Amino acid sequence: MVSTVRRVFGLIRRELKLYRILMKDSRTPRTARMFLAGAVAYAFTPLDLLPNLIPIIGFVDDLIIIPILVYFALRNIPKPLISEGRARL
């Protein structure tokens, strides 16, 4: 159980590093940068569509909106650029 949790957090950490590399790369399209910035901003701002004070439901919007923003960002980034970013890791 503990090793699975560590592995998941390691994967999340790698993906976040990849997104940081892609955000800094000048070849990344502006729309993709805006989607990634929106995902980060939504994750760290206290303003949510549904307040986190509501048990369970308050966190569901975070679990839906953030992956959607990341998905649209990755769709707008050329595949070779993503592969190059993963190779840099």
pTM of the model: 0.81
Whether the Cβ atoms of residue 24 and residue 34 lie closer than 8 Å to each other: no
Distance (Å, rounded) from C-alpha 18 to C-alpha 83?
Answer: 10
User: pLDDT tens digits for 13-54?
Assistant: 999 999 999 999 999 999 999 999 999 888 888 777 777 677
- The reported pLDDT for the residue numbered 52 is 67
Percentages helix, strand, coil for the chain (3-state, rounded to 5) are 75, 0, 25
The alpha carbons of the chain give a radius of gyration, in whole angstroms, of: 15
Residue the block writes with tokens 């549904």? 50
